[in-house]
Amino acid sequence: MANKKTETKKLLKNMEMRQQMAEDMKFYQYKEVINGTEYVFQYCGKRRSLQIIDECSDEKSNISKEKLLDAVFKTIIVSPNVNLDYFDQEEYMDDFDRVSEVANIIFGGKFRNNEALKG
């Protein structure tokens, strides 16, 4: 009987650890200074990522690149508050390519040990 209790405790502890890991991963943050501006990116979770893709798709499952990128920026970039128009300002035009690259890596959930991320 004691063996069953020990196994149950181990199982519950393992489940708690896995749940905490999932939460930690969901709220993963990455900071990078790009041309003097610090950008803070945050992973939104797989479910939210899929919801964003669905929201940016039409009835034939065609994805609007404009809507998708704007939604990714609004969801993934915690600071500063950006959208596509933000990068039309002269001082931020050069940031667009790198910010887009990092946002797409984080959005896709491929941030662990990713060499494209400096941190």
Q: What is the pTM of this model?
A: 0.73
What is the pLDDT, as a whole number, of residue 26?
Answer: 53
DSSP string covering 29-64 = EEEEEETTEEEEEE---HHHHHHHHHHTB-TT--B-
Per-residue model confidence as pLDDT tens for the chain (119 residues): 567 777 776 666 666 665 555 555 556 899 999 999 999 999 999 999 999 999 999 999 999 999 999 999 999 999 999 999 999 999 999 999 999 999 999 999 888 888 898 75
DSSP string covering 59-95 = TT--B-HHHHHHHHHHHHEEES---GGGGGSGGGGGG
